[in-house]
Chain A
Amino acid sequence: MRRGMFGRRILYWFGVALGLVLAIVPLPGWLDVMRPDFALLAVIYWILTSPRIAGLGYAWLAGLFLDVLRGMVLGQHALGFLVVAFLTHRLQLRMRMFPIPHQAAAVLLLLGLYHFIIFWTDGLTGHGYTGWNRWLPVLSGALLWPLIVAAGDTLVRRSR
């Protein structure tokens, strides 16, 4: 039991770290604009599957590291990650029961909130970009959700 917990913890850290790497890997311009927030999706997935392991602290740290990697205002993505992680924790008993398309819709709302926080803090710090395409990652992330669940479930099953 304890070993299983430890293995899962490692998997969780690894998954989020991979998401952070994917956040700065160079992509062609059109893909770059709609790049899904892999790290945040990983955080949501792990909170839903093993809420005992995935706490708020690590989500916050991951957001902070993303700020450093992308040269943003320190604390911006950290706040976004934190809010999403907290809401997911509050909703996880309900969200776990949802069928996948329904879950993807909930993820769409969470991602929308996350990007709204980023947009808002961007505006407050004077970097406002108001084009419609800054909301594309919300859509691409929600569309990707079934794949994330499939990949995560496979990984967890293998690790047992």
Chain B
Amino acid sequence: MVELSHDSRPIIGRGPPLGATFLALATASIALMVADVRYGQLEQVRGWLNSAAYPLQVAIDLPFRAWGWITGSFADRGELQKENLALTARLRTADLQLQKFAVLQDENRRLREMRGSSAGVAKRAIVASILNVDLDPFRHRVLLDRGSVDGVFKGQAVLDAQGIFGQVWRVNARTSEAILISDAEHAIPVQSNRSGVRTIAVGTGDPNRLSLPFVTGESDIRKGDLLLSTGMGGVFPPGYPVARVTKVERSAKATFAIVEAGPTAALDRDREVMLVWFDAPAPVEAPAQETPAPTTSTPEPAATIPAPATATPETAPAPGGG
């Protein structure tokens, strides 16, 4: 059979045949994937490539940021006044509460001193903005505008004003990628504020819903319970709000109840988040209430990533000031 050549590149200087190039590059991409996934050896290479991508990402972010700035600076007077009034009112109530808290904090500190454990609050925090760049629509990842030059490290906790937002997943020089608690691959150890039951909240891929797959039918979890982080695994600061239980379904036949919770952080609306450094709490003896079921089914970043919490970087003082 006579076959026309499909290769219509010039005969002179055409380089290696297409098939050979294809094979070489295909092998290269497979090798890259294996090295990246199995051995995690490409952090350095990714870092270099990311420095090339950084200007592009900033350029895409810029018009959106400029638009936000313009609408912000031309907001009309009435609106500002209204906002001002609302904020003043909020400040007043907050001040009142603060009075109470001062007393409680003092007492808390004394109690902690007696127990000899350090206070589990953030030592230092910096504010990071979320870049207006779309990553994969099926993964809950965002790009933050702080990177290793600001001292960001892998596994660092990311919070917003209302609750836990996620954790740092990958660090580049000037940017970092965070994984949200609602990502289907994320899990976070939590504890009910009311009953003290410990369990694990797993992301579902829906920004308004977390699932608690390891709650047994008998355990004391009710609709409306606030779930706080336990600080187990050392990634997240303990005692910070994570989610509020929205649905509990028990059936006599099933061992586990169907429990869902809505994150308290505004996962899909935030434009700015906080990266925090805190002292990992001293390990306390675990009360024998409920042991978290073994999560062998999913890789669990919350538990597997060791938090280098001791390696607090000595970079510039925090603008957010912890």
Q: Across the interface, name the chain A residue whose C-beta is closest to B42.
A: A74
| Residue contact B135 to A56, C-beta cutoff 8 Å | no
| A25 partner, pick from B7, B25, B134, B170, beta carbons under 8 A | B134
Task: Flag whether A155 is at the interface (Cβ < 8 A).
Answer: no
The CA of A89 and the CA of B49, in the complex, are separated in Å by 28
The CA of A76 and the CA of B136, in the complex, are separated in Å by 13
Residues of B within 8 A of A63 (CB): 29
Produce 1/0 per residue, A60-93, CB < 8 A to B. 1001110011111111101100110010011111
Distance in angstroms from A10 CB to nearest chain B CB is 18
| Residue contact B138 to A79, C-beta cutoff 8 Å | no
Partner-binding segment picked from A36-44, A107-115, A127-135, A142-150: A127-135
Distance in angstroms from A2 CB to nearest chain B CB is 12
| B46 partner, pick from A55, A56, A68, A121, beta carbons under 8 A | A68
| Residue contact A134 to B138, C-beta cutoff 8 Å | yes
| Residue contact A26 to B21, C-beta cutoff 8 Å | no
Q: Given A56-B25, A60-B25, A82-B26, A74–B33 Cβ distance below 8 Å?
A: yes
Interface centre among B30, B42, B133, B299 (most CB of A within 10 A): B133
Interface residues on A, range: 35 or more
The CA of A14 and the CA of B57, in the complex, are separated in Å by 17
| Residue contact A78 to B32, C-beta cutoff 8 Å | yes
Produce 1/0 per residue, B98-122, CB < 8 A to A. 0000000000000000000000000
Task: Flag whether A51 is at the interface (Cβ < 8 A).
Answer: yes
Residues of A within 8 A of B35 (CB): 74
Interface residues of B in 5-27 (CB under 8 A from A): 6-10, 15, 18, 21-22, 25-26
The CA of A74 and the CA of B25, in the complex, are separated in Å by 13
| Residue contact A79 to B10, C-beta cutoff 8 Å | no
| Residue contact A33 to B8, C-beta cutoff 8 Å | no
| Residue contact B6 to A90, C-beta cutoff 8 Å | yes
| Residue contact B29 to A60, C-beta cutoff 8 Å | yes
The CA of A69 and the CA of B172, in the complex, are separated in Å by 12
| A69 partner, pick from B10, B53, B137, B299, beta carbons under 8 A | B53
A residues sitting closer than 8 Å to B (CB atoms) are 20-21, 24-27, 29, 32-33, 35, 51-52, 55-57, 60, 63-65, 68-76, 78-79, 82-83, 86, 89-93, 121, 125-127, 129, 131, 134
B residues sitting closer than 8 Å to A (CB atoms) are 4, 6-10, 15, 18, 21-22, 25-26, 28-33, 35-37, 42, 45-46, 49-50, 52-53, 56-57, 60, 64, 132-139, 141, 143, 170, 177, 184-185, 205, 299
Besides A26-B60, A71-B143, 4 more A-B contacts (Cβ < 8 Å) are A72-B136, A79-B26, A82-B22, A125-B33
